[in-house]
Amino acid sequence: MLHLCKDLSTKISRLIVIRQQFLLHQLRAKSSRRFIIRDSDNEEDEEDEIVDKEPEIQEGRLHLFKSRGQHLLTNPRILDSIVRKSNIRPSDTVLEIGPGTGNLTMKLLEAAQRVVAVEIDKRMVEIVQKRAAELGFEDRITVIGGDALKAEFPRFDLVVANIPYGISSPLVAKLVFGENKFRSATLLLQKEFARRILANPGDSEFNRLAANVKLVAEVEFVMDVSKKDFVPIPKVDSSVIKIHPKEDIPVVNLNEWWAFTRTCFSKKNKTLGAIFKQKKKLMELIRLSETRGVEGTFEASDDGMSSEQESDLSSSSNKRISSFREKVIDILRSGEFEGKRPSKLSTEEFLVLLSLFNQAGIYFHDQAKLNTASDVLLASYGS
C-alpha cells in the first residue's frame, strides 16, 4: 500500500514538472513578454508586480528575479539524478536552500523523511507549501522564510540544493564551517565556481575558498548541467558537486586560519616571500603590536596605511620593520616556503607554515571584532 502511494506520488510530481515545463516552453514560444524576468531587488517594487499568487508559472505571471538567482531547474531527468547522487536515506532530514517552486523539493520529499527548506521569496514559500500539501507531504516539510545566510539551520543530515549562485561562497562556508554535522552537501553551482572549489593546489583556479574548504571537507565532481535545463535559461553553465565533511579535521583556531589564508592569498600568484615581506604587511604588524601591546600579532587586512601614517614612521620604527622582516624571512626559509606560491600549497603545508609563525610568536587575527563563526564567514566571503 505504502509502495503504491509512493509510486503514485512520484508519478504525480513528474506530471507536475512535465506540465510546468510544457507550459513554460509554450509561453516562451508564444510571447517572451508574458514570462517576466526582472532585475529589481526592491521589495516594494516586487510586491506591486505580484498579480497572481497561484503556484507555478501560470499564464506567465510569476515574475522571476535574476537578482535572486531565480532560475528553476525543470528537467526531471536531472532532478532525479541529483536526488539519486545525494544518497538519501529514508530516515534523513534534508536541508534545501532556495526551493523555488519546489521541483527538487517534491522529489526530496519522496526520498527523505523530512525536508527543511529555506527560501527568501515569500511567493515561493507559499507555492512550495501548497504543492507539498497537494501531494500529501505537508507533515514532512518545514519551509523557513528568510535569507539562508542569516537563518539558523535546524539539525539536518544532508544538504541537497540548486542554490542561488550569488551566495555560493558564503553559503558553502556557512555549511562547511557551521556547527551542524552533516554527511554530505550535493549542490548545483555555477560551473566556474564549481571548478574553483574543486581545484587542487597547482591548478590555476586554486584559491582561498578551495584552500579553506579543503581543511574541513573533500569535494567531488558529480555532473555538468546544461543551461537548457533551467527556466529561464541562465547565461552561465552549471555543475553539481558533492561536499563530504571530513571526520577528523586538524586542530587549528579557525579564526586565525581564515586570517592567515587571507594574508597568504592576498597576492595569489606571488611567492610567499614577496607577500610576507611587503612593507605594508610588516607595518600593520608593528602598528598592531604597538596599539595592542602584543608583540608579533599579524593583522590580516587589505587596507594600506594612510600616507600620513607612513610619513609619521620614525627611523626607530623603520628599524623594527627591518628586524621583523628578518624574522619573517627566517621563518619562511626554515620551512623552505620563501619561493613557494600560495596557489601551490597543500593544506598540510599551510598548517606547517602557520605553526612555524606561531612558534616564533606570530599570530594572525581578523581586524574586525567578530563574535561568531558566521560573523567571520560573512566578513570573509561577503554575500
Ligand X SMILES: C[S@@+](CC[C@H](N)C(=O)[O-])C[C@H]1O[C@@H](n2cnc3c(N)ncnc32)[C@H](O)[C@@H]1O
Q: Which stretch binds ligand X (CB under 6 A): 64-72, 85-93, 251-259, 290-298?
A: 64-72
Instruction: Please name every residue paired with 223 in a beta bridge, in sequence order, or none if there are none.
Output: 240
User: Interface residues for ligand X in 102-161 (CB under 6 A)?
Assistant: 103-104, 118-121, 124, 147-149
Tracing cell 606571488 back to the chain, one arrives at: 270
Give the interface size with ligand X as a residue count (CB under 6 A): 23
Phi, psi of 41 (to 5 degrees): -120, 10
Comparison of 175 and 211: residue with beta carbon closer to ligand X: 175
- Regarding 259 and contact with ligand X (CB under 6 A), the answer is no
- Regarding 57 and contact with ligand X (CB under 6 A), the answer is no
Q: Which stretch binds ligand X (CB under 6 A): 66-74, 316-324, 363-371, 373-381?
A: 66-74
Among the listed residues 68, 114, 208, 262, the single contact to ligand X using CB under 6 A: 68
- Report in angstroms how near the CB of residue 74 gets to ligand X at its nearest: 7
- Regarding 99 and contact with ligand X (CB under 6 A), the answer is yes
User: Interface residues for ligand X in 174-193 (CB under 6 A)?
Assistant: none
- Report in angstroms how near the CB of residue 372 gets to ligand X at its nearest: 18
- Regarding 71 and contact with ligand X (CB under 6 A), the answer is yes
- Regarding 100 and contact with ligand X (CB under 6 A), the answer is yes
Rounded distance, CA 323 to CA 317, Å?
Answer: 10
- Report in angstroms how near the CB of residue 377 gets to ligand X at its nearest: 14
Nearest to 105 by CA among 228, 9, 239: 9
Rounded distance, CA 240 to CA 354, Å?
Answer: 33
What's the number of CA atoms in the CB half-sphere (13 Å) around residue 113?
8
Comparison of 103 and 374: residue with beta carbon closer to ligand X: 103
The set of residues, in sequence order, having a beta carbon less than 8 Å from that of 111 and lying 6+ positions away, is 83, 86, 88, 90, 92, 94
Rounded distance, CA 328 to CA 326, Å?
Answer: 5
Tracing cell 523539493 back to the chain, one arrives at: 105
- Report in angstroms how near the CB of residue 103 gets to ligand X at its nearest: 4
Comparison of 97 and 215: residue with beta carbon closer to ligand X: 97
Phi, psi of 327 (to 5 degrees): -60, -45
Give the count of beta carbons closer than 10 Å to the beta carbon of residue 356. 16
Rounded distance, CA 140 to CA 136, Å?
Answer: 9
- Regarding 239 and contact with ligand X (CB under 6 A), the answer is no
Comparison of 70 and 374: residue with beta carbon closer to ligand X: 70
Comparison of 55 and 100: residue with beta carbon closer to ligand X: 100
- Regarding 73 and contact with ligand X (CB under 6 A), the answer is yes
Comparison of 118 and 158: residue with beta carbon closer to ligand X: 118
- Report in angstroms how near the CB of residue 138 gets to ligand X at its nearest: 19
- Report in angstroms how near the CB of residue 340 gets to ligand X at its nearest: 37
Measured between alpha carbons, how far is residue 302 from residues 258, 265, 281 in Å? 13, 11, 9
Among the listed residues 94, 95, 97, 225, the single contact to ligand X using CB under 6 A: 97
Q: 3-class secondary structure for 333-361?
A: HHCCCCCCCHHHCCHHHHHHHHHHHHHCC
- Regarding 377 and contact with ligand X (CB under 6 A), the answer is no
Which cell goes with 275?
Answer: 607577500
- Regarding 172 and contact with ligand X (CB under 6 A), the answer is no
105: burial class by Cβ within 10 Å (0-12, 13-18, 19+)?
A: buried
Comparison of 132 and 167: residue with beta carbon closer to ligand X: 167
Q: Which stretch binds ligand X (CB under 6 A): 96-104, 131-139, 273-281, 298-306?
A: 96-104
Give the total residue count for the chain: 383
Helix 254-264 to helix 347-359 angle (10° resolution) is 100
Among the listed residues 98, 170, 245, 342, the single contact to ligand X using CB under 6 A: 98
Contacts 24+ apart (CB under 8 A), 304-311: 304/280, 305/280, 309/283, 310/283
Q: Which stretch binds ligand X (CB under 6 A): 67-75, 213-221, 301-309, 350-358?
A: 67-75
Task: Output the residue with the shortest Cβ distance to ligand X.
Answer: 98
Residues of this chain that bind ligand X (CB under 6 A): 68-73, 97-100, 103-104, 118-121, 124, 147-149, 162, 164, 167
